[in-house]
Amino acid sequence: MKAVILAAGYGTRLQRDVENDTTGKFQHLIGTPKPLLPVGNCALISHWVNAFNTNGCVDAIFIVTNQLYHKIFEEWARPFPNVRVLSDGTQSNEERLGAVACLQLTVKHFQIEDNVIVIGGDTLFKEDFSLSRFTNEFFHRTAKCDDSNLVLSYHCKDEETLKYGILEVNKDLRVHCLKEKPHPSETTSRRACPCFYLFSKKSIPLLDEFLHEKKDSSIEEKDAPGNFLSWLIPRKAVYIHEVSGRFDVPGGDSPQFHGQLLDQAAQASSVEADAVSGVPSQLLVCPDDSYIT
């Protein structure tokens, strides 16, 4: 199994907030991509690498980033012999390829013919998330149908459906629909879908077909990885694995919000990687800026 971490975003809102901060407290974060922000004793995505290495479920981890941040990621990756970094060749947000195209680029560049875990580079989960349970469920599903896929899901509040992709599932937890940011009245489901997918090796080649169909579409059609997932659902079996929630680095909140996260992170002890790639409760931050305990 392989892992691909999507890290080609430019974090424009985060960088804007840091640059506009007048306290000077966050100046050291100028030019730092969100996946490399410190959480606990290491960079955010280092928690994933440590978890994968401890679990042993993947034999290679690929980071796809942009040309602007390529050297920074290369430097970060030096201690990890099983991590490879790929640039998508873009220099600005306006040039971005989109997450799905970056995933396809990674698959082709490294000639991946395997099951692939795909992760948004700014995402972590709460402590109840277990990488072992997740991969075990995937293998249970693929033992019955070898082109099955597995995605994470958690319950969101009514008003949060407007912010996320929402999954509708049947009694067997097979997804039959993904609605993008629906009004609460448009669906009874409250199953939010973060960017954490495990695609079977039979589904990965369909990236080519999806992008061929979308070749004349706007960048937005190819940017959100959920667009490929939505397209895949009627073509291949997709099931959900439930967790209690996610923690992702905010992009459009105030520097004070980021400061609370970073101040707390600096005081925290290391994350136990075990089979769990969640953040300790003292690092979790709610949208209302209060810490989850």
In sequence order, what are the residues at sequence separation of 6 or more whose Cβ sits closer than 8 angstroms to the Cβ of residue 236?
147, 148, 149, 200, 202, 203, 206
Long-range contacts of 162-168 (CB under 8 A, 24+ apart): 164/192, 164/193, 164/194, 165/192, 165/193, 165/224, 165/226, 165/229, 165/230, 166/190, 166/191, 166/192, 166/193, 167/191, 167/192, 167/193, 167/240
| DSSP string for 12-77 | HHHHHHHHH-SS-TTGGGTT--GGGSEETTEEHHHHHHHHHHHHT--SEEEEEE-TTTHHHHHHHH
Whether the per-residue pLDDT at 251 is higher than 70: the answer is no
CATH match for 2-283 among 3.90.550.10, 3.40.30.10, 3.30.230.10, 3.10.105.10: 3.90.550.10
Average pLDDT over residues 243-254: 65
Residues in the chain: 293
Average pLDDT over residues 208-231: 91
Q: Is the pLDDT higher at 287 or at 10?
A: 10
For the chain, give the mean pLDDT: 85
| Residue whose C-alpha is closest to residue 156's, from 291, 253, 246 | 246
Which two structure tokens, joined as six digits, stand for 47? Answer: 């928690």
Whether the per-residue pLDDT at 174 is higher than 70: the answer is yes
Whether the per-residue pLDDT at 277 is higher than 70: the answer is no
Q: Give 32-87 pLDDT, tens digit per residue.
A: 899 998 887 889 999 999 999 999 999 999 999 999 999 999 999 999 999 999 99
Whether the per-residue pLDDT at 8 is higher than 90: the answer is yes
Q: Given this model, what pLDDT does residue 221 score?
A: 81
Q: Given this model, what pLDDT does residue 281 score?
A: 43
Which two structure tokens, joined as six digits, stand for 278? Answer: 């969640």
Q: Give 131-161 pLDDT, tens digit per residue.
A: 999 999 999 999 999 999 999 999 999 999 9
Per-domain residue ranges of the chain: 2-283
Q: Given this model, what pLDDT does residue 24 score?
A: 78
| Nearest-5° Cα angle at 290, 285 to 293 | 75
Which two structure tokens, joined as six digits, stand for 105? Answer: 């680029």
Maximal CA-CA distance, the chain: 57
Q: Given this model, what pLDDT does residue 254 score?
A: 46
Work out the number of other CB atoms within 10 angstroms of the CB of residue 79.
Answer: 9
Cα 60 from chain centre: 17
> Which 3 state secondary structure label does DSSP give 261?
helix
Least confident of 58-72, 129-143, 188-202, 277-291: 277-291
Average pLDDT over residues 149-174: 96
